[in-house]
Structure 1
Amino acid sequence: MSKTNRNVIDIAGAARKLLGFQSLRPGQHDAIQSLLEGRDTVLVQPTGSGKSAVYQIAGALLEGATVIVSPLIALQKDQADAIEASRLEATAVVNSTLSASEQREVLDRIEQGKVQYIFLAPEQLRKPETIERLRAANVSLIAIDEAHCISQWGHDFRPDYLGLCQVIEALDHPLVLAMTATASREVRGEIIERLGLQNPRVFVHGFDRPNISLRVDLFSNKDEKCASLLRRVEFAEKPGIVYVSTHKHAEDIAADLQRMGVDALCYHGGLKAKQREEIQNKFMNGEVPVIVATNAFGMGVDKPDIRFVFHADVSDSLDAYYQEIGRAGRDGEEAEAVLFYRPQDISAQQFKTGPAHVDSEGLESVYNTLIAMRGPMTRDEIVLETGINARKLVGLLHRLEETEAIRHLDNGDYEATSSRPLSQVIEAAAENQKFQKDLRKQRLQKMQSYAEWRSCRREYLLRYFGDDYAGPCGNCDRCEELRLMPKAA
């Protein structure tokens, strides 16, 4: 399709014909038009606002295949099934749930041009064979979901995303659509830089959720804070989510609620995958009205009738906090978001930001072991070879992966990427750790400012995300206090 033809396309008509949409939501038309005009595009919209429709429609109107990069295997399947159920072209999903022979079969179809929409996890794109097959498929658009994962400023950094810039270049820089549900100015800037986007257009829509009331309840005593939280959950309209910062806190609060007669379950990364899946399904199906969870719960969760999101602990950033409270009230009905806050909570979170210095001895042991192996190793093999306990090893592997000294393969193994001098690797890890520690401190300062803000809370949040919102909103505790204050004579 020529550029001239792209500009005269009836996008709304295409949306009706292809997806049955009577109208497009704010931001969708602009983003599709931007892509059809040949511009890299960043789209920031809340979950559930229809970001997937942008790449579906644009992909149908552009010549060539569309690659969708998504970290969530379950979400890949859901989106692929939705496309198959529409009037769009064939889809394929390539991820670790497929056997080697199944992956080869799918890649053959991709290379032969029989697939229009290709769903891939970011780690799949590290494989040279995958890149070669995609080059043959004439990729015209790469849509990157959860694009904030490439940002170290963001709250959900994933090293796998760092290689996407090289993938884009290897495919001769097709159009790029970077999508995320939450991204401050700093995160948007890092997305653009790290993906190597060329003169992109940036669209930010839908951050204001006026149906969610915002409040911060201030406490000086830890026990009073906990008691207040439990009472609020007991009498709140349900279903709802309580976010906490540790596994133990999730278990303790869920147990306290159960003793009070509230049907609640805890969810955290320490549970087995099958347990987490069962708990999430019970919540989504309405069998359990309250989930007490760490930030491990949420990505890919789209339950429209959540009536409250309470935070027993401060989130480590405003980006994370806003994404978490944004899970409430997606049906448009009234919902509430309450942060239960003690000023001491900030210093407690700062303490969790990790040590100031890297574990040079541990990094040396793991790196030298992988170099000596000259091939992939499982995590268990590294534990046996180094004598480092499994929990500590996770952090060391993460540090080495961030420096790109090692890589995490799709099958879960690890291997060294080069034989860089150990001193360079440790220096890079130390610089990266200091950088991340400073970033975490800055993010917590923003969170503290929100908690202690004395004017409209919605205005503070939306301005942080680049929205020129002018309060008062009339639906936060600060606006309520101002309304109740006697007017000056």
Structure 2
Amino acid sequence: MSGARAECERVAREALGLEELRPGQLAAMTALAEGRDTLAVMPTGSGKSAIYQVPALLLKGPTLVVSPLIALQRDQVEALREHDEEAASLDARTSARQRTATFEALRARETEFLFCAPEQLARPDVIRELKAAAPSLMVVDEAHCVSSWGHDFRPDYLRLGSVAEALGRPVIAALTATAAPPVRAEIVERLGMRDRVEIVQGFDRPNISLEVRRVLDDPAQEIVAAVAGQERPGIVYTTTRRRTGQLSDLLNEAGVRAAAYHAGMRRAERDEVHDRFMDGGLEVVVATNAFGMGIDKPDVRFVCHAEVPGSPDAYYQEIGRAGRDGEPAAATLFYRQEDLGLQRYFAGGVPDAETLAGVAAAVAAAGPGAGRKELRERTGLSPRRLTGLLDLLERVGAVRLGTRRAEPVPGGPAPEEAAELARELAERRREVERTRLEMMRRYAETEDCRRRFLLGYFGEHLPEPCGNCDTCRAGTAAAPAGPADGPFPLHARVEHRAWGPGQVIQRGEDRLTVLFEEAGYRELALDAVLEQDLLTRADEDER
């Protein structure tokens, strides 16, 4: 046993009271303790917090934890203090006096853990103070938010790679519960992870029963009946803010203590709903996808979706909030084909060339080190939209982004050319989003084992039907998954004449699902692939 491994086991036992570590935890802890960047993709409830807390106590220097939710930060601070570990959080409501005291304690090594949202890292004073404290470990929680492929992309996460460089490049731990292969690849790229270790534990949550109910009309009354007849508490997800109020009203009329939750509510209202749900005052929260990240309530017995989500990534993240105690739970999707059109609308359009060219020209005119505030004034764009457009321009080599500033790349494309290249990139991303929605449609309509379909999407193979989904119970998923060998086995790297390189992520008896780097998810009939020579193995030399 390596020294770092033994030390991690000792610290886990003595500091956190963990006598036994779960699969993947020890390997991730050891890699971080040895100074290696680590991406850990592990199911919710598998102990991701301990992954960074243990090596943090072994590495010299404080630990910065970037987390998107203030409530979650405070929960983690309290949990660490219960173990006699000094921790603090920083947010927009932290007073100047508290900020000064926090950074003084950090520099003096009196505080080991500092939690903050990515928005705080846009402040030059925060970066300056953190650099002086010389953190040894930077943790990016909910790391899928880094990726524009991800289901919960946050532009504020885009600067975290630059933040790491500005802080002297501490060891990076990226943690998430759900990340398909392209999301994992972009996390690594965006954060500039070096000498990395990737630990991907099983995505399977076998205690969650999966079911899809196909409906022709508004399923509101069916949802109310389903919720009223299930063990509670639970969560109902819906697409629009208006719908949260409608469904919560209907549930209350049926005798279920329910409340709506969406991003348009005041923070105090959202906090009240959150707290009532956590302490048992509410049986059901009807919410948009604004609710759930960081909700650590182990006894959620069901998650219902009133409409089809935009991708399997988002769906699996949301149903993963059920059954964290390991007891039986249910995930039910109410599916209407017309709801797919609403998701296509939400996927958004492609930015126009004129706006992109205007941003590129503004960066060029402002010169090196242009602040984002100055660029917002020049372009008239909101911070979120400007960040997204700057990201596209950076990806095509037109601008270089720092924590707060942007500058033109010497010798890069002119504004008009950069705008065209950025539009093409945005169009490719939109096409990928379309294919992810198509995969969600296939999940809803498949007669094969639903769990096998979902796990295959994330690159895992379930050879036999799960026995705990509606198709298994109906007997339509009894057939074996099909051969794992043959010319295009699972995980084979392939090349398509039009769609370029990709990887086989699902393999059935008569079809393949391939994730292409540029074209997204595509399902191909195996006979057509062989007869028309559509694919070639890109890893022939390795066989």
Shorter-chain TM-score range: 0.7 to 0.9
Deviation, structure 1 residue 293: 0.9
Distance 1:409 1:313, change over 3 A: farther
- Take 2:440 and 2:343, find their aligned partners in 1: how far apart are those partners? 11
CA contact (8 A) 1:357 1:430 kept: yes
2:513 corresponds to: none
2:166 corresponds to: 170
Q: Would you say 1:222 and 2:223 are equivalent positions?
A: no
2:341 corresponds to: 347
CA contact (8 A) 1:307 1:335 kept: yes
CA deviation profile, 1:196-216 (whole Å, cap 9, x unmatched): 112311112252111110011
Equivalent in 47, 61, 68 of residue 65 of structure 2: 68
- Take 1:436 and 1:427, find their aligned partners in 2: how far apart are those partners? 14
CA deviation profile, 1:51-84 (whole Å, cap 9, x unmatched): 1111111111122222211121222222122222
- Take 1:55 and 1:10, find their aligned partners in 2: how far apart are those partners? 14
CA contact (8 A) 1:122 1:164 kept: yes
- Take 2:425 and 2:260, find their aligned partners in 1: how far apart are those partners? 33
Deviation, structure 1 residue 118: 2.1
Give runs of aligned pairs for residues 74-473 of structure 1, distance below 5 A.
74-88=71-85, 90-219=86-215, 221-223=216-218, 225-358=219-352, 360=354, 396-397=385-386, 399-400=388-389, 402-403=391-392, 417=406, 423=416, 427=420, 430-431=423-424, 433-473=426-466
Deviation, structure 1 residue 311: 0.6
Distance 1:409 1:39, change over 3 A: closer
Distance 1:7 1:261, change over 3 A: closer
CA contact (8 A) 1:400 1:425 kept: no
CA contact (8 A) 1:67 1:142 kept: yes
Deviation, structure 1 residue 106: 2.0
Q: Would you say 1:476 and 2:473 are equivalent positions?
A: no
Moved more, 457-466 or 238-247: 457-466
* Residue identity in the other structure for 2:67: S
CA contact (8 A) 2:155 2:388 kept: no
- Take 2:352 and 2:312, find their aligned partners in 1: how far apart are those partners? 27
Matched position secondary structure for 1:168: helix
5+ long unaligned stretches in structure 2? 480-543
CA deviation profile, 1:357-397 (whole Å, cap 9, x unmatched): 5384699599979x99x97869xx97xx99x9xxx957744
1:15 corresponds to: 12
- Take 1:362 and 1:175, find their aligned partners in 2: how far apart are those partners? 35
CA contact (8 A) 1:93 1:118 kept: yes
Distance 1:194 1:245, change over 3 A: same
5+ long unaligned stretches in structure 1? none
- Take 2:3 and 2:10, find their aligned partners in 1: how far apart are those partners? 14
- Take 1:251 and 1:33, find their aligned partners in 2: how far apart are those partners? 47
Matched position secondary structure for 1:178: strand
Distance 1:409 1:265, change over 3 A: farther
- Take 1:366 and 1:278, find their aligned partners in 2: how far apart are those partners? 43
Deviation, structure 1 residue 402: 4.0
CA deviation profile, 1:156-208 (whole Å, cap 9, x unmatched): 11112111112222334322111001111111111111111123111122521
Moved more, 282-291 or 209-218: 282-291
Q: Between the two structures, name the one with larger relative contact order (CA 8 Å, sep ≥ 6).
A: 1
Deviation, structure 1 residue 341: 0.8
Moved more, 44-53 or 95-104: 95-104
Matched position secondary structure for 1:330: coil
* Residue identity in the other structure for 1:298: G
* Residue identity in the other structure for 1:444: L
- Take 1:187 and 1:210, find their aligned partners in 2: how far apart are those partners? 23
CA contact (8 A) 1:353 1:437 kept: yes
* Residue identity in the other structure for 1:184: A
Matched position secondary structure for 2:136: strand
Deviation, structure 1 residue 18: 0.6
Deviation, structure 1 residue 134: 3.0
- Take 2:458 and 2:387, find their aligned partners in 1: how far apart are those partners? 29
Matched position secondary structure for 1:26: coil
CA contact (8 A) 1:6 1:37 kept: no
CA RMSD of aligned residues (A): 3.4
2:34 corresponds to: 37
- Take 1:146 and 1:82, find their aligned partners in 2: how far apart are those partners? 18
2:23 corresponds to: 26
- Take 1:155 and 1:8, find their aligned partners in 2: how far apart are those partners? 34
Matched position secondary structure for 2:235: strand
Distance 1:27 1:137, change over 3 A: same
* Residue identity in the other structure for 2:291: F
Deviation, structure 1 residue 258: 2.7
* Residue identity in the other structure for 1:452: E
- Take 2:382 and 2:347, find their aligned partners in 1: how far apart are those partners? 18
Percent identity at matched positions? 43
CA deviation profile, 1:450-488 (whole Å, cap 9, x unmatched): 1122211111112222333322110001111117999xx
Distance 1:344 1:302, change over 3 A: same
Distance 1:110 1:52, change over 3 A: same
* Residue identity in the other structure for 2:427: K
Distance 1:281 1:120, change over 3 A: closer
Aligned length: 467
- The structure richer in helix per residue is 1
- Take 2:121 and 2:350, find their aligned partners in 1: how far apart are those partners? 33
* Residue identity in the other structure for 1:60: L
CA deviation profile, 1:213-239 (whole Å, cap 9, x unmatched): 0011122x223x333222212212211
CA contact (8 A) 2:143 2:176 kept: yes
TM-score (norm 2): 0.77
CA contact (8 A) 1:45 1:205 kept: yes
- Take 2:60 and 2:16, find their aligned partners in 1: how far apart are those partners? 18
CA contact (8 A) 1:328 1:336 kept: yes
- Take 2:195 and 2:418, find their aligned partners in 1: how far apart are those partners? 33
